[in-house]
Amino acid sequence: MPIEKCAICGRRAPRYVCQECSRHVCGVCFEPQAWLCAGCSGSPKPKAAAWKSCTWPIPFGLFIVGLVLILVGITLVVTATMLSGETVPAGAVIFIGPIPIVVGTGSCSIWAMILAVVLAILGILMFVIYRKRAV
Ligand SMILES: [Zn+2]
Ligand SMILES: [Zn+2]
């Protein structure tokens, strides 16, 4: 049975397996911090580096909270208008960044729009409070 040799230098016995190319390499030809062989650590893949440096500008959880609040607001508006028996007005607030854009159609949509704006303001307040706590 032949003794396995390091895939890089071919002299020492391999002790590690590179997570990138899965070659068996010795301790000298291995970077334990990155868990990569000498060949892979010298030329890291640009895709992996870009992914690691990519971070969300704001916590993703807050974005989800904002979206949920908007959805709840729209649902409330639609439910309220349906219960009041008005002629299918629709009010919605669409967030583009921190700026809410109010969209309203129908003859009695003003109340739906007002409710949507109030909910949007509440959503922004929640967002600001959470952001202050996070900092
Ligand atoms: Zn080696
Ligand atoms: Zn490697």
- Beta-bridged to residue 102, according to DSSP, are 93
| CA count, 13 A, side-chain hemisphere, 15 | 10
Determine how many CB atoms are found less than 10 A away from the CB of residue 70.
19
Contact between residue 79 and residue 98 where contact means Cβ atoms under 8 Å apart: no
Within a domain: 56: no
Contact between residue 127 and residue 65 where contact means Cβ atoms under 8 Å apart: yes
Task: Dump pLDDT digits (tens) for 85-119.
Answer: 655 445 555 555 555 555 555 555 566 667 677 77
Structural domain boundaries enclosing 14 = 1-43
The ligand with the least distance to the CA atom of 21 is 2
Within a domain: 125: yes
Ligand 1 centroid to Cα of residue 29, in Å, is 4
The ligand with the least distance to the CA atom of 34 is 2
Within a domain: 58: no
Within a domain: 32: yes
Ligand 1 centroid to Cα of residue 9, in Å, is 4
Task: Dump pLDDT digits (tens) for 52-84.
Answer: 444 545 566 666 677 777 777 767 766 766 676
Within a domain: 55: no
pLDDT of residue 8: 93
The one-letter amino acid at 12: R
Within a domain: 102: yes
Task: Dump pLDDT digits (tens) for 41-60.
Answer: 875 445 544 444 445 455 66
Ligand 1 centroid to Cα of residue 31, in Å, is 11
**pLDDT over 70 for what percent of the chain?**
50
pLDDT of residue 129: 79
The ligand with the least distance to the CA atom of 37 is 2
- Rg (Cα) of the chain, in Å, rounded? 28
The ligand with the least distance to the CA atom of 8 is 1
**Total number of domains constituting the chain:** 2
The one-letter amino acid at 101: I
Ligand 1 centroid to Cα of residue 123, in Å, is 58
- Model pTM? 0.32
Within a domain: 34: yes
Ligand 1 centroid to Cα of residue 13, in Å, is 8
Within a domain: 33: yes
